[in-house]
Amino acid sequence: MLATTLFVVLGAWGLRDTRSPEAPPRGLLVLMAAGLLLAVLAWGPYAVSRGAVTPSRTQVLAGPGIGLLLAAAIGRVAAAVPARFARTCALALASWVVAVGTGRVLAMQDEWNGHSLWPVQNESLFRLTRLVPDVRPGTMLLLIDERPAWPATFTFRHAVRYLYDDRAEGVVWRANAFLYPVSFEAAGLRSEPWPVIRDVWRVQPRLYRYDEVVVARHLATGGMRVEEGWPRELPPLPEGAVYDPGRRVLPRGDPPPERTILVPVPDV
């Protein structure tokens, strides 16, 4: 209601000095056909691609064509009514597009909220930042996620990078390694971001020694703890390797402003 009302008010103000639609009907029909053609051409690659199995996000490329189609259709209808009603007709139809589009976004958000992992992810991040207030630069935070809250590593990595001022990298044991695969080697954990993102996202391959790793366990009950010893489910430490999380975790005074995004959760 707020979005539609605001659009109507601004639209009415903008139409004060706007002439009634006078484009020839044939020209508007051509624009409608052009918009439809652009939308179809945008959807075409998705339709024939084996990688696209759902319509999710296919509207991005088709958006300009759909916009042109709707705008021309509104102009065509407005041009067909008596001139004194043309601007009101155009505004009403455009407002309908805004109302339906906004309502759809709200409906999708409600659906997403019902399936979102954000509540459990927020809980894990809040507890992690309480247990590990700060780290020495160049620390790898390895999460053993029992719930699970993090099906893919890249989301946890981005959250850790944001919440720890880019001083730590995050990885989730046995999660989908999309974009950020990590391997266990004799010298440590090697992070190998995909080449396509290295320059644009300013991430490069890096080897973390085992004494630069902090293992945190997100318990199935909702708690969180830092493992003092190397967990048995992980590949065993190579001979001579040392795991010492106490040397990597640092105290911190006031939390950085980035952490205000986290919602506090009760202690378990």
Asked whether 8 and 95 are in contact (CB, 8 A), the reply is yes
| Count of other CB atoms within 10 angstroms of residue 35 | 21
Interval 73-114: pLDDT, tens: 999 998 888 888 888 999 999 999 999 999 999 998 888 887
State the residue for tokens 């954000």.
Answer: 118
Separation of alpha carbons 170 and 215, rounded Å: 10
Residue-averaged pLDDT of the chain: 92
Q: Provide the token pair at 168.
A: 């730590």
Q: For residues 177 and 153, is the Cβ–Cβ distance under 8 A?
A: yes
Residue with tokens 């890096």: 206
Q: Decide: pTM greater than 0.85.
A: no
pLDDT for residue 23: 57
What are the domain boundaries of the chain?
A: 2-115, 118-261
Residue-wise pLDDT tens digits, 168-201: 999 999 999 999 999 999 999 999 999 999 999 9
Cα torsion through 6, 95, 31, 61, rounded to 10: 70
109 in helix, strand or coil?
Answer: helix
